[in-house]
Chain A
């Protein structure tokens, strides 16, 4: 199986600081891939490079949409990456707080629609059909995510756990083939984390979307992932199945320090 997302020799420097050091990472279709590492290891930097928020200093990023051709997305604008089928959520929730839950998801449909200014003013048949399908699709997504009862609530008024969920729903609205989740369980209580776990599994199995996630909650990562990448100081120190990672001495060292053997 060939990877749907690949980085080749990806490096990112901020001034003298090497945040990413020649990373080679591959995400396989239909899998949940986790990216772990201590704080400041460069996990979010990698996500930011992939999604175009940063332009990497060196190296290449390729995507291969299912049924599509492999193409390079290095240094593309954020919106182009999303259009290409890679959606993401953020570590610190970035919803549109003063828009309703439904509108948040409707914005996600933006890149799959085409109505312009003239259409907005004239409200011709084509525009209205498109608008109706935007509303319908968005509502359907919210229903599947269990947010249907909150459609008209302002996003800012949602409880924290549901805000995280809405952010995922909004990303799903862009029709991705790969979903990047940046610490989706941060700040969640055990019950919310469990719900999140089953949601991510459903995203893989029911929606057929591959997931690449950063997470600190090890129980979640080990229970959920098909494969795991571990980075420290911007370097890849291990990759493999959760079982392999758990036993890897390099990983234990990175997380717990040198002298734990004692």
Chain B
């Protein structure tokens, strides 16, 4: 036994030596050589190489220890992990814990705009918009398992609906809100039609193309969308006809977004635990078996796309109202990728996970501004580490448990 441990230990040391040699080699040009262009001399900083060697040696040990923990008896552990609830999952599912948690979060959300700067409120509003976008995309990607890389198209549909309706007919925010949602839903169904037969990679490619087509059309169809210059002067929502100052309008928008978030979470939660929600999940798990259960695949796919894009349409209207300006540059593939990252990082299929994921992914780059140039690198590193050590996301989704009394069919939901 100790022999085995010993050989494994020696193997590890060997591996780490190789890794550190590699790192010393790779970082040699940037860490060791420094060309002084003024004095025209070359500075050889050999000490740096030593530091790189030692630190990569140590880090490789840490890395192996952590991954070793996660890969050893991987399947078994993963299964057990799935069954065991994390703290956050318990908060989400147990009344005793969830009520105080909700109270605290609600209080914090309510006082937030009054204790922080306009800038802070602003980025929080943006983060909340991504919460809703994430939850919407989760219906398509997380629940129905249809990888959609063109989600931003529906977001754009909502934003442009408001912008164009205002420009041409002077339509206000509150009327534009349902119309924007409707436009996005219709677009969602239109996209669902051609992709009904597609799965996996093919579906991803088509949706990606769809998103790009939407953006390119908006960019080039000048008569319709005013091209790259976009549409400006879109009004913020008014409060019972009152004109608000810019600062108040932002606080107002913040609270509207909080409202939309609550509605979204409520609806998504109820959908998840329903006949429709189960059909979506079944579609994700096994398409043939799903149909063999009497589920109409066509209908379910259309439902998933329609339900998902509705939320994007709503947020699009909010986006237009918040920035008072829309142009195609706001709806690039990067946005779709960001929203998808929120869903994956937060935890596919888990509402609380996606909320946290959105807040982290949107707020983190803002708060990392202190590190200026390095912030996107740091952001990337954090994402990579997350995905390596917690592939199921921040909070993995849990299936609802039912409790049955042994003697009969009297049921109680836990």
Interface residues of A (CB under 8 A from B): 51, 53, 77-79, 82-83, 87-88, 90, 94-100, 102-103, 106-108, 110-113, 115-117, 119-121, 123, 127, 130-132, 134-136, 139-140, 148, 151-152, 154, 156-157, 170-171, 173-174
Asked if B205 lies at the interface with its beta carbon under 8 angstroms from chain A, I say: no
Task: Find A96's partner among B275, B276, B289 (CB 8 Å cutoff).
Answer: B289
Additional pairs, 16, CB under 8 Å, beyond known A111-B293, A134-B275:
A78-B288, A79-B292, A90-B288, A94-B292, A107-B281, A107-B282, A108-B294, A110-B279, A110-B293, A115-B276, A120-B276, A135-B411, A139-B402, A151-B402, A156-B79, A157-B79
Q: A95-B289, A99-B281 are in contact. Are A116 and B295 (CB under 8 A)?
A: no
Q: Are B292 and A96 in contact (CB under 8 A)?
A: no
The 4 nearest A-B residue pairs measured at CB: A111-B294, A120-B274, A96-B285, A82-B294
The minimal Cβ–Cβ distance linking B221 to chain A, given in whole angstroms, is: 33
Question: Can you list 24 A-B contacts with CB-CB less than 8 angstroms, sorted by A residue number?
Answer: A77-B291, A78-B288, A78-B292, A79-B293, A79-B295, A94-B292, A95-B289, A99-B278, A100-B401, A102-B402, A106-B278, A110-B293, A110-B295, A115-B276, A119-B274, A120-B271, A120-B276, A121-B267, A121-B270, A121-B271, A135-B402, A139-B402, A157-B83, A171-B292
Please indicate the chain B residues that have their CB under 8 angstroms from the CB of A135 in the complex. Answer: 402, 411
Please indicate the chain A residues that have their CB under 8 angstroms from the CB of B271 in the complex. Answer: 117, 120-121
Please indicate the chain A residues that have their CB under 8 angstroms from the CB of B279 in the complex. Answer: 107, 110
User: Can you name the residue of chain B whose Cβ is closest to the Cβ of A84?
Assistant: B294
Docked Cα-Cα span, A108 to B303, in Å, equals: 19
Please indicate the chain B residues that have their CB under 8 angstroms from the CB of A154 in the complex. Answer: 79, 82-83, 399
Dominant SS among interface residues on chain A:
helix
Query: For residues 259 through 285 of chain B, which have their beta carbon under 8 Å from a beta carbon of chain A?
Result: 267, 270-271, 274-279, 281-282, 285
Total A-B contacts with CB atoms under 8 angstroms apart: 130
Q: A117-B307, A152-B401, A152-B402 are in contact. Are A170 and B270 (CB under 8 A)?
A: no
Docked Cα-Cα span, A100 to B281, in Å, equals: 11
Q: Are B303 and A117 in contact (CB under 8 A)?
A: yes
Residues 375-408 of chain B, each 1 if its beta carbon lies under 8 Å from chain A, else 0: 0000000000000000000000001111010000
Asked if B290 lies at the interface with its beta carbon under 8 angstroms from chain A, I say: yes
Please indicate the chain A residues that have their CB under 8 angstroms from the CB of B82 in the complex. Answer: 154
Please indicate the chain A residues that have their CB under 8 angstroms from the CB of B275 in the complex. Answer: 110, 113, 115, 119-120, 130-131, 134
Residue among B79, B294, B297 with max Cβ neighbours from chain A (10 Å): B294
Asked if B296 lies at the interface with its beta carbon under 8 angstroms from chain A, I say: yes
Docked Cα-Cα span, A200 to B270, in Å, equals: 37
Task: Find A123's partner among B270, B281, B291, B303 (CB 8 Å cutoff).
Answer: B270
Please indicate the chain A residues that have their CB under 8 angstroms from the CB of B288 in the complex. Answer: 53, 78, 90, 94
Q: A79-B297, A120-B276 are in contact. Are A97 and B285 (CB under 8 A)?
A: yes
Q: Are B402 and A99 in contact (CB under 8 A)?
A: no
Docked Cα-Cα span, A78 to B277, in Å, equals: 20
Asked if B286 lies at the interface with its beta carbon under 8 angstroms from chain A, I say: yes
Asked if B36 lies at the interface with its beta carbon under 8 angstroms from chain A, I say: no
User: Can you name the residue of chain A whose Cβ is closest to the Cβ of B278?
Assistant: A107
Asked if B409 lies at the interface with its beta carbon under 8 angstroms from chain A, I say: yes
The minimal Cβ–Cβ distance linking A224 to chain B, given in whole angstroms, is: 23
Task: Find A148's partner among B294, B295, B399, B404 (CB 8 Å cutoff).
Answer: B404
Docked Cα-Cα span, A111 to B400, in Å, equals: 21
The minimal Cβ–Cβ distance linking A237 to chain B, given in whole angstroms, is: 29
User: Can you name the residue of chain B whose Cβ is closest to the Cβ of A106?
Assistant: B278
Please indicate the chain B residues that have their CB under 8 angstroms from the CB of A79 in the complex. Answer: 291-297
Q: A134-B275, A135-B402, A154-B82 are in contact. Are A140 and B285 (CB under 8 A)?
A: no
The minimal Cβ–Cβ distance linking A98 to chain B, given in whole angstroms, is: 6
Q: A107-B282, A113-B275, A115-B276 are in contact. Are A82 and B293 (CB under 8 A)?
A: yes
User: Can you name the residue of chain A whose Cβ is closest to the Cβ of B298?
Assistant: A77
